[in-house]
Chains A and B, each alone.
Chain A
Amino acid sequence: MVTKTEESQLKNLEIQVDNGGGGAWEFLSLVRKLKVRRSDKVLKHGLSILNDPKQRSTLGSEEWTLYEQVAVAAMDCQSLDVAQDCTKALRKRFPESKRVGRLEAMLLEAKGSWDMAEKAYTSLLEDNPLDQIIHKRRVAMAKAQGNISGAIEWLNKYLEIFMADHDAWRELAEIYLSLQMYKQAAFCYEEVILAQPTVPLYHLAYADVLYTLGGLENLQTAKKYYASTIDLTGGKNTRALFGVCLCTSAIAQLTKGKNKEDKEGSQLHSLAAKALEKDYKQRAPDKLPQLTTALKSLTLSS
Chain B
Amino acid sequence: MGLGFGVGFLGVLILFHAAYSTIQYRALLKITEEEFSGSPFSVVIELSLGLLLCTWAALTVPGKFLCILPDSEENRIVSLPVNPDFMIFNHRGKLFPLEMNAKLRH
Contacts and interface: CB of A to CB of B under 8 A. Distances in A.
A81 B98 contact: no
Contact of A79 (B70, B86, B97): B97
A292 interface: no
B3 interface: no
Nearest to A86: B104
Contacts of B89: 75-76, 78, 106, 109-110, 144
Given A3-B76, A7-B78, A199-B77, A78 B86 contact: no
A3 B102 contact: no
Contact of B74 (A4, A43, A75): A4
Interface stretch (A31-39, A215-223, A265-273, A280-288): A31-39
B86 A171 contact: yes
Nearest to A165: B85
A50 interface: yes
B64 interface: no
Contacts of B87: 37, 72, 76, 140
Contacts of A140: 85-88
Interface string B74-96: 11111111111111111001100
A24 to B, nearest CB: 14
Contact of A171 (B79, B83, B93, B102): B83
Interface in B32-89: 69-89
Contact residues of B: prevailing secondary structure = loop
A136 interface: yes
A78 B81 contact: no
Interface in A9-59: 34-37, 39-40, 43-44, 47-48, 50-51
Interface in A182-233: 198-201, 232-233
Interface string A219-254: 000000000000011111000000000000000000
Contacts of B88: 140-141, 143-144
A112 interface: yes
A37 B85 CA distance: 12
Given A2-B80, A44-B102, A199-B77, A78 B71 contact: no
A136 B86 CA distance: 6
B90 A144 contact: yes
A140 B78 CA distance: 25
Contacts of A198: 70
Nearest to B79: A2
13 contacts: A1-B81, A2-B77, A2-B81, A3-B74, A4-B74, A7-B78, A76-B87, A77-B97, A132-B85, A140-B85, A144-B89, A235-B71, A236-B76
Interface of A: 1-5, 7, 34-37, 39-40, 43-44, 47-48, 50-51, 72, 75-79, 81-82, 85-86, 89, 106, 109-110, 112, 132-133, 136-137, 139-141, 143-145, 167, 170-171, 198-201, 232-236
